[in-house]
Amino acid sequence: MTPDHHDKTQELYELIASIDDPEMIRALFDDLCTRKEIENMAERVYAARLLLEGNTYAQVMQRSGISSATLSRVSRCVQYGEGYSRLLSGVSR
């Protein structure tokens, strides 16, 4: 990553982190992403939540409708990453 790219990415992260209004976050994501991209991200978060709740791969795929390849990636992030587990632990819907 070039420093310029890193600076732009960091600015995006800081912008998102500065927003405390869910409606404003929705508006920003609507401007930044296609509807399908937002739906895909939401499906990944939902699948991560299901995994963290102890559901099996088969249960997650059935309930979420995501592909096995996407579920595998989400599972790796749940197991070895920080984002899903830190943000979703203790949060129930």
Q: What is the pLDDT of residues 8-34, one digit of tens each?
A: 999 999 999 999 999 999 999 999 999
**pLDDT the model gives residue 2:** 59
DSSP line for 16-75: HHH---HHHHHHHHHHHS-HHHHHHHHHHHHHHHHHHTT--HHHHHHHH---HHHHHHHH
Domains and CATH numbers, the chain: 1-32 (no CATH), 34-93 (1.10.1270.10)
- What's residue 91's pLDDT? 52
**Residue predicted with more confidence, 8 or 86:** 8
Q: What is the pLDDT of residues 34-66, one digit of tens each?
A: 999 999 999 999 999 999 999 999 999 999 989
pTM of the model: 0.81
Confidence of residue 4 (pLDDT cuts 50, 70, 90): confident
Q: What are residue 33's phi and psi, to 5 degrees?
A: -125, 160
CA distances from 26 to 8, 12, 32, 73, 83 (A): 20, 15, 10, 25, 19
What residues contact residue 19 under an 8 Å CB cut-off, 6+ apart? Answer: 25, 28
pLDDT (0 to 100) of residue 90: 61
